[in-house]
């Protein structure tokens, strides 16, 4: 068990994570890795609200997550690790060799981003960061919900706004 | 659940329904069909929107429609998260999560009191409308 999914999702904890992935995975914990949230009790309470009481939520910045990850990986419960953006996940990959797969779950429209999939928009810098992750041996796929087909990074970067 | 402080305004204050997919438009169309009162609720979906854009769109609707009560679907949903951020600097607004058709119908028909009181009543009606009919083991 331990962390079964390393997911980039700009909504962080939301319905797709708690219910869409959480129920079939029998999710036991969520590790939310975000420097800003880790520094704010108010933000943590916001994300803790609504999560089922049996589901534990850990809040860490990138350095703290790199230290905590070996312990999370020994956890008998299945877990999801979330980052709000590619840059945060890329820093975690550098800090921790335990991250071998990355799921692109939701990176939505913002100025400068190109539409790749219904739920994936990327800047040229983000695309370069993903290629860099792949070059390090990390398997990067896009998949918003468990019932969808995981799309390999090369296909994501070739896509042009497919739904 | 509901959160937010008592509001001084009457319950004719506007309300917003927000959620995943067609949750809001579906729920509101059902409420309008039952009551024959169109235009009571503003609606929005979080479809294809990031967290920041959900909040921006919700704030715009709240401002444009004078919204005093926000109904959302999941307590952990992104619309609920956005609404909670709005409540932080707009304490006159009340949030009701886990909304259903019974909640909207109660809110529409609640003629007296404040928006907060109407929201509390709607939440109570929502809870009491969920029933399980059957026997253990089923058939």
Q: Which of B48, B74, B75 sits opposite A119 (nearest CB)?
A: B48
Sign of the Cα pseudo-torsion (B79, A81, A160, A123, in order): positive
Is the CB of residue A21 less than 8 Å away from at least one CB of chain B? no
Question: How many Å separate Cα B53 from the centre of its chain?
Answer: 19
Question: How many Å separate Cα A76 from the centre of its chain?
Answer: 20
Name the residue of chain A whose CA is nearest to B87's CA: A46
DSSP string, chain A: -EEEEEEEETT-SSHIIIIIIHHHHT--EEEEE-HHHHT-HHHHHHHHTTS-TTSEEEEE-HHHHHHHHHHHHT-SSEEEEEESSHHHHHHHHHH-TT--EEEEEEB---TTPEEEETTEEE-HHHHHHHHHHHHTT-EEEE-SSTTSPPEEHHHHHH--SB-
The predicted model gives B114-130 an average pLDDT of 94
Q: How confident is the model at residue B3 (pLDDT cuts 50, 70, 90)?
A: low
Q: Report the gap between the CA of A52 and the closest CA in chain B (Å).
A: 9
End-to-end CA distance of chain A: 32
Chain A residue numbers with beta carbons less than 8 Å from the beta carbon of B51 are 10-12, 108
Q: What pLDDT does residue B92 have?
A: 94
Distance (Å, whole) CA A71 – CA A31: 12
Q: Which of A15, A109, A110 sits opposite B76 (nearest CB)?
A: A15
The predicted model gives A108-122 an average pLDDT of 95
Write the CA distances from A63 to A12, A68, B56, B62, B101, integer angstroms: 18, 9, 31, 38, 46
Q: Which of A50, A106, A118 sits opposite B76 (nearest CB)?
A: A50
Structure-derived torsion over alpha carbons of residues A62, A64, A68, A72, reported in degrees to the nearest 10: -50
Q: Which among A45, A53, A108 is the top mutation candidate for probing chain B, defined by the most B β-carbons within 10 Å of its own β-carbon?
A: A108
Q: What pLDDT does residue A72 have?
A: 97
Q: Which of A10, A50, A109 sits opposite B74 (nearest CB)?
A: A50
Q: For residues B24 and B1, which has the higher predicted lDDT (pLDDT)?
A: B24
What share of chain B in percent tops pLDDT 70? 88
- A134-157 pLDDT per residue, tens: 999 999 999 999 999 999 999 999
CB-CB under 8 Å, A15 with B73 = yes
Q: How confident is the model at residue B82 (pLDDT cuts 50, 70, 90)?
A: very high
Q: How confident is the model at residue B6 (pLDDT cuts 50, 70, 90)?
A: very low
CB contact at 8 A, B70 and B123? no
Q: For residues A8 and A1, which has the higher predicted lDDT (pLDDT)?
A: A8
Q: What pLDDT does residue A160 have?
A: 87
Q: What pLDDT does residue B138 have?
A: 77
The predicted model gives B95-117 an average pLDDT of 91
Q: How confident is the model at residue A1 (pLDDT cuts 50, 70, 90)?
A: confident
Average pLDDT score, chain B = 89
Question: What 3-state DSSP class applies to B1?
Answer: coil
Given a cut of 90, is residue B12 above it in pLDDT?
A: no
- B13-53 pLDDT per residue, tens: 589 999 999 999 999 999 999 999 999 999 999 999 999 99
Q: What pLDDT does residue A50 have?
A: 79
- A26-79 pLDDT per residue, tens: 999 999 999 999 999 999 999 998 799 999 999 999 999 999 999 999 999 999
Q: What pLDDT does residue B7 have?
A: 38
Question: What 3-state DSSP class applies to B16?
Answer: strand
User: Could you say which DSSP state residue B114 is in?
Assistant: B
The predicted model gives A108-137 an average pLDDT of 96
- What ipTM is given for this predicted complex? 0.84
CB-CB under 8 Å, B76 with A13 = yes
Name the residue of chain B whose CA is nearest to A46's CA: B81
Given a cut of 50, is residue B11 above it in pLDDT?
A: no
Contact map slice: A 39-78 vs B, CB within 8 A: 42, 46-47, 49-51
Given a cut of 90, is residue B8 above it in pLDDT?
A: no
Q: What pLDDT does residue A123 have?
A: 97
Q: What pLDDT does residue B110 have?
A: 79
Which residue is listed with tokens 């009551």? B35
What share of chain B in percent tops pLDDT 90? 78
- A67-92 pLDDT per residue, tens: 999 999 999 999 999 999 999 999 99
Distance (Å, whole) CA B68 – CA B90: 9
């Amino acid at each position: 068990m331990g962390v079964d999914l390393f997911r980039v999702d700009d909504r962080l904890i939301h319905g797709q994570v708690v219910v869409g992935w959480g129920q079939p995975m029998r999710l036991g914990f969520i590790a939310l890795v975000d420097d800003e949230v880790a520094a704010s009790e108010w933000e943590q309470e916001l994300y803790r609200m609504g999560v089922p009481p049996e589901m534990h939520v850990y809040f860490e910045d990138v350095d703290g997550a790199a230290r905590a990850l070996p312990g999370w990986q020994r956890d008998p419960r299945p877990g999801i690790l979330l980052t709000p953006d590619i840059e945060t996940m890329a820093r975690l990959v550098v800090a921790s060799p335990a991250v071998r797969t990355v799921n692109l779950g939701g990176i939505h429209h913002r100025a400068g981003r190109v539409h790749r999939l219904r739920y994936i928009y990327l800047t040229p810098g983000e695309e370069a960061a993903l290629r860099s992750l792949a070059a390090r041996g990390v398997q990067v796929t896009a998949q918003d919900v468990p019932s969808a087909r995981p799309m390999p990074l090369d296909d994501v970067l070739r896509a042009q706004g497919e739904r | 659940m509901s959160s937010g402080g008592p509001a001084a305004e009457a319950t004719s204050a506007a309300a917003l329904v927000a959620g995943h997919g067609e949750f809001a438009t579906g729920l509101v169309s059902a409420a309008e069909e039952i009551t024959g009162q169109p235009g009571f609720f503003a609606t929005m979906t979080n479809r294809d929107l990031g967290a920041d854009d959900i909040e921006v769109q919700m704030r715009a609707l709240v401002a444009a429609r004078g919204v005093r009560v926000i109904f959302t679907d999941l307590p952990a949903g992104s619309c609920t998260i956005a609404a909670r951020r709005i409540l932080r600097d707009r304490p006159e607004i009340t949030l009701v999560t886990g909304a259903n058709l019974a909640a909207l119908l109660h809110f529409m028909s609640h003629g007296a009191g404040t928006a907060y009181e109407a929201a509390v009543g709607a939440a109570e009606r929502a809870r009491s409308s969920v029933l399980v009919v059957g026997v253990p083991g089923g058939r």
